[in-house]
Amino acid sequence: MFIKPHRRHVLTSGLASFAVIGRAWAAAPATIVDGTTIGREKMLVVGQDAAGRILAFDSSTYIEGNPIGVSDVVAIGSYCGTRVLAPIFTKGVKAVIATDAGIGKDEAGISGLKHGETIGVPVASVAVMSAETSNGRATLLGTISRANAQARALGVAPGQIAWEAALLLAKAPAGKSIPTSPGAEEAPVVMETTPQGRIWATPGSTAIREKIPNDVFCSGANSSRVMSDGAIRMAAKGAIANDAGIAPKNSAVEGVFLLAERGVPAASVSTMSARLGEGLSTWNDGVISVANDVALKLGVRIGMTAKEAARLMLAKM
For residue 149, the enclosing domain spans 44-169
**What's the rounded mean pLDDT across residues 10-38?**
59
In this structure, is residue 22 part of a structural domain?
Answer: no
- Considering the chain, what is the average pLDDT of its residues? 89
287 and 224 belong to one structural domain: yes
Identify the CA nearest to 311 among candidates 193, 204, 203, 208. Answer: 193
Count of the separate structural domains present in the chain: 2
84 and 137 belong to one structural domain: yes
In this structure, is residue 253 part of a structural domain?
Answer: yes
73 and 143 belong to one structural domain: yes
218 and 164 belong to one structural domain: no
95 and 141 belong to one structural domain: yes
**How far is 193 from 18, CA to CA, in rounded Å?**
41
Q: What is the pLDDT of residues 72-86, one digit of tens each?
A: 999 999 999 998 999
In this structure, is residue 2 part of a structural domain?
Answer: no
Q: What is the pLDDT of residues 149-195, one digit of tens each?
A: 999 999 999 999 999 999 999 999 999 999 987 765 568 999 999 99
201 and 91 belong to one structural domain: no
What Cα–Cα distance (Å) separates residue 149 from each residue in 99, 119, 126, 152, 213? 17, 11, 16, 5, 46
In this structure, is residue 103 part of a structural domain?
Answer: yes
Cβ-based neighbours of 205, under 8 Å, separated by 6 or more: 217, 219, 221, 226, 227, 229, 230, 231, 233, 234, 239, 241
Which residue type, as a one-letter code, is found at position 203? P
In this structure, is residue 5 part of a structural domain?
Answer: no
Helical H segments across 14-161, by residue range: 82-91, 111-119, 136-141, 149-153
105 and 68 belong to one structural domain: yes
Coil, helix or strand for 146? strand
160 and 194 belong to one structural domain: no
> Where among 106, 140, 169 does a domain terminate?
169
Identify the CA nearest to 202 among candidates 108, 280, 266, 90. Answer: 280
- HSE-up (13 A, CA, CB side) for residue 270: 19
**What's the rounded mean pLDDT across residues 240-246?**
96
Contact 28, 163 (CB under 8 A): yes
**How far is 109 from 245, CA to CA, in rounded Å?**
9
**How far is 24 from 107, CA to CA, in rounded Å?**
30
122 and 222 belong to one structural domain: no
In this structure, is residue 182 part of a structural domain?
Answer: no
212 and 291 belong to one structural domain: yes
In this structure, is residue 176 part of a structural domain?
Answer: no
In this structure, is residue 19 part of a structural domain?
Answer: no
Q: What is the pLDDT of residue 184?
A: 59
CATH number at residue 73: 3.50.30
Q: What is the pLDDT of residues 93-125, one digit of tens each?
A: 999 999 999 999 999 999 999 999 999 999 999
pLDDT grade for 8, boundaries at 50, 70 and 90: very low
206 and 137 belong to one structural domain: no
Task: Please determine, for residue 249, whether its predicted confidence score (pLDDT) is greater than 80.
Answer: yes
48 and 160 belong to one structural domain: yes
Radius of gyration of the chain (CA): 19
